[in-house]
Amino acid sequence: MTSFSSSNPLVLPRDAHGMRRLPSLPAWWSCLLMVALWFGCTAWLRPLAIPDEGRYVGVAWEMLRSGDWLVPTLDGLPFFHKPPLFYWITAGSMAVFGPSVAAARAAAWLASTVLVTGLFVFTRRWGSVRQAWITVAVLATVPLFYGAAQYANMDLLVAACISVAILLFAHALLARSGGQAYRGALAAAFVAAALGVLAKGLIGVALPLLVLGAWGLATRRLGRVLTLLIWPPGWALFAVVATPWFMAMQQRFPGFAHYFFVVQQVQRFASTGFNNPQPRWFYPVALLLLTLPWSPWLAAAWRAPRRSASDLVSSELRTLMWVWLGVTVAFFSVPSSKLVGYILPALAPLAFLMADGACRVVDEAPAHAASPTRLSVRSARSWLAATTLAAAVACVALTVTAHFLQPKSRQVLAEQLRMLKRPGEPVFFLDNYYYDVSFYARLETPVAVVDPWRPAEVARDSWRRELVDASQFAADRPAPRLLLPAAFAPALCRAHTSWVIGPWPAASAAPPWLAGLMPVAQSGETALWRVDASRPGLRTALHCDGGPAV
């Protein structure tokens, strides 16, 4: 019988019982696989939320169907509210896996998986294996984070880029202080910041700089921090990754730079004319509530005694996380406009601190409870396991509940349109822009939107403003997208057979004849009509042969 050397890499080693055993995966691989499955298991369940998911997935769908991967478009009009990284990931995912809801959420799934795995690797390297796994359990089951991992917009994508950039920079600084290789991590930190800019704009680089600068001040190592922050090769890498798309857009659309950087970045941050104004205390309260049942463990980290003076790395890590959390909350509390998703960059340090507090509770617990108010080690571990289970159940329960609470979704109506519509038949929206219809109906061409386009309504932060702003960059588009009510009937006459989606009863922008036309489908307060302009009665009402429509 032929014998094989134990050094042969193709032969699996034997265990104590003589059985062949599979090699164990590296710890970070195990973490990556688990969190990827965890975040992906319900990504398909809930329909797209309106307006955000419908808007951004719709833009990605247009990118895929048009083949133009450079210019994001909304209803065929250049849409420059956000940079293209989310659209590239989402369109690429739909190109590979098909235009499903799960594929449309690929960017959030990817961001959540990378962020949790990156935090695990960092904590395991500079903390402990136990704390790393507890940190993973906390972050992966925080309801706010889990919900963001199921939500197709830019918030978690830019949060992941910001967080990974900070972690990589901190790793580079600590490694350099210990005489270890650090330039690879530092270069990767600049690339992550550049991807953050491509994900959502200047916040991708501004927030890491603020956090790291504050960390340098807090630890009295500002000089060392600045030495790495001004590293020329890093900024060269940053420019190579971040700037080409912006330069291409400015060259093609002369007003792009002012619109993107001044209007969409600076003015949205500084002014009060945008959506969801909230008081300054909004984010601290939101974080405490939306991280339940984990948030009580933060008190243990806050009350915990300082580590010994010799444990310098642990002390600096805790300082980094507190500074990171504080700077992020303070930064986003300044603007009047506050959305919950903006605060996602604070969740990585918050999870680290909650896990740190949990570790301290277990470490400081006596073997047996000395008093009714003092937990034993066994009880502390039981509470930690119960919190993990309760948080995981809450995440899944909230996702399942959200499946039934999507009143603005037009999925059913759009799928009816997809089955009934023939190629070449145009689609009209009345008094609204239905963000998710283009995706669910697989529309191959833009729709025409019929509205009075009153200046007061256009000035508000809404779908009207988005389309009007986008139309300013589309002077070369031959077909009109934004129609006044007077142009509606002539457009229907030219098409013969058209599809109209609008409020039911008929929209205010529609002529009286539409109220008497039976809808083909209805979803909530929205209806779908098939308009056959060749029918004699309807042709007369539309006055397709001349004169005003009635």
Contact by Cβ (8 Å): 35, 117: yes
Confidence tier at 482 by pLDDT (50, 70, 90):
very high
Tens of pLDDT, residue by residue over 172-196, are 999 998 889 999 999 999 999 999 9
Confidence tier at 546 by pLDDT (50, 70, 90):
low
H or E segment at 138?
helix 129-141
| Angle (deg, nearest 10), helices 183-200 and 85-97 | 90
Question: Can you tell me whether residue 306 is helix, strand or coil?
Answer: coil
What would the mean pLDDT of 160-179 be, rounded to a whole number? 94
Q: Name, of 354-358, 372-376, 419-423, the range with top average pLDDT.
A: 419-423
Q: What is the pLDDT of residue 509?
A: 55
How far is the C-alpha of 387 from the C-alpha of 172, rounded, in Å?
34
**Mean pLDDT for the chain overall:** 85
Closest CA to 187 of 119, 237, 227, 240: 237
Percent of the chain topping pLDDT 90: 55
pTM for the predicted model, two decimal places: 0.89
Structure tokens at 91: 């369109």
Please report where in the chains the tokens 């769908």 appear, as a residue: 61
Tens of pLDDT, residue by residue over 519-542, are 898 888 899 999 888 887 787 777
Closest CA to 82 of 163, 203, 189, 191: 203
For the chain, the domains span 156-260, 411-542
Res. 143: pLDDT tops 70: yes
Res. 507: pLDDT tops 50: yes
Q: What is the DSSP code (8-state) at residue 260? A: I
Res. 497: pLDDT tops 60: yes
Res. 367: pLDDT tops 60: no
Tens of pLDDT, residue by residue over 252-310, are 999 999 999 998 888 877 765 556 778 888 999 999 999 999 888 888 777 655 554 44
Question: Can you tell me whether residue 326 is helix, strand or coil?
Answer: helix
How far is the C-alpha of 162 from the C-alpha of 384, rounded, in Å?
29
Give residue 446's region: left, alpha or beta (phi > 0; psi -120 to 50). beta
